[in-house]
Structure 1
C-alpha cells in the first residue's frame, strides 16, 4: 500500500509540475477573480488528473490504445479552446482599460464554473491518460492498490495546482493598478495562446 501511495504521489507530481497552457490560464484566472475561484479551478485540474489515473489503473493498455488514435484531434480541440480563452481575456482587458472599468467590481467567475471549465480543458489532454497507463503497465504494484494510487495521484496534483492558484492570487494582489491589469492580462493571454499552439506543433 505504501509503495502504491508513493507511486501515486510521484505520478501525480510528474504530470502536474510541468507548467503549460492550463497552468498559465489558472494563474490568470485566479489573478482576475479570487483565490476561492482559483482553488476551485485548481481542483478541477486535479480531478481530471485523478480521473485519468483511475481510468489508467483500471484499463491500462486498452485505454491508451483507444485514446492514442484520436490524441491529435483532442490536442487540437484543447488548443482551440485555450486560444479562444486567451482571446476573450485579451479583448476583455482592452475593453475594460478603454472604458476605465475597474475589473475588481466586475462580476467574478463562479466557483462551479471555474471548476468545470478547468476540468473540461484538462480532460481534453490525451497525454495524461497515456502517461498514467504507461506507469501502471510498468509497475503491477500500482494496479494491486489502484484506489491508493489514484488518491495519491489526485492529492499530488491538487497540492501543486493549489500552489499555482496561490501564485495567481499573489499576482492579483500585487498588480492591481489600471495599467498593471491590462499589461498582465495581455501578457497572460499571449503566454496561454503560445503554449496552446505548442500543443499541436
Structure 2
C-alpha cells in the first residue's frame, strides 16, 4: 500500500510540475480573480489528472490503441481552445487598461466555472492518460483494488497540491502587481505564453 501511495505521489507530481499552457493560464486566472477562483481552477486540473490516473489503472492498456488515432485531432482541439483563451485574456487585459484605474474591476470568473473550464482543458490532453498508463504498465506497484485506489488518490493529491500552489502564486502576483501598467504587462505576457505553448503542442 505504501509503495502504491509513493508511486501515485511521484506520478502526480511528475505530470503536474512541468508548467505548460494550462499552468500558465491557471496563474493568470488566479491573478485576476479572488482566491476562490484559483482554487476552483486548480481542483479542475487535479480532477482531470485523477480521472486519467483512474482510467489508467482500470484499463489503460486497452485504451492505448484506441487513443492513438485521435491524439492528433485532440491536440489540434486543445491548441485551438488555448489560442481562444489567450485571445480572450489579451482582450480582457487591454480593455481593463483602456478603462483606466477609476473603472470598476471586471468580475472574476466564478469558482464553479473555473473548475469546469480547467477540467475540460485538461481532459482534452490524451497524453495524460498515456503517461499514467505507461507508469502502471512499467511496473508501478498497483496490484489489486486497494493499491489502485491508493495510487489514484495519491496522484490526485499530488496534482492538487501543486496546482493550488500555482493558484496561490497567481493570487499573490495579482495583489503585488496592482498598478494598471503591471496588470496590462502580466496579462499580455500570460496571453503570449499561452499562445506560444498552444503552438508548441502542434510542433
Q: CA deviation at 1:65?
A: 1.8
Q: Unaligned 5+ residue runs, structure 2? A: none
| Corresponding position of 1:78 | 78
Q: What pairs up with 1:1-201 in 2 under 5 angstroms?
A: 1-100=1-100, 105-139=105-139, 141-144=141-144, 145-201=147-203
Aligned residues: 201
Q: Distance in 2 between matches of 1:24 and 1:142?
A: 32
Q: CA deviation at 1:143?
A: 3.8
Q: Unaligned 5+ residue runs, structure 1? A: none
Q: CA deviation at 1:96?
A: 1.9
Give 3-state SS (helix, strand or coil) of 2:202's partner.
coil
- 2:41–2:115 contact (8 Å) kept in structure 1: yes
**Which of structure 1's runs of 4+ aligned residues deviate more than 2 A?**
101-105
Instruction: Encode CA deviations 1:19-63: one digit per residue, 9 max, x unaligned.
Output: 100000000000010221101100000000000000000012111
Q: Distance in 2 between matches of 1:141 and 1:7?
A: 7
Q: CA deviation at 1:141?
A: 2.5
Q: Which moved more, 1:103-112 or 1:128-137?
A: 103-112
Q: CA deviation at 1:98?
A: 1.4
Q: Distance in 1 between matches of 2:157 and 2:185?
A: 34
Give 3-state SS (helix, strand or coil) of 1:60's partner.
helix
Give 3-state SS (helix, strand or coil) of 1:45's partner.
helix
Q: Which moved more, 1:54-63 or 1:95-104?
A: 95-104
- Structure 2 length-normalised TM: 0.95
Give 3-state SS (helix, strand or coil) of 2:151's partner.
helix
- Structure 1 length-normalised TM: 0.96
Give 3-state SS (helix, strand or coil) of 2:109's partner.
coil
Give 3-state SS (helix, strand or coil) of 2:27's partner.
helix
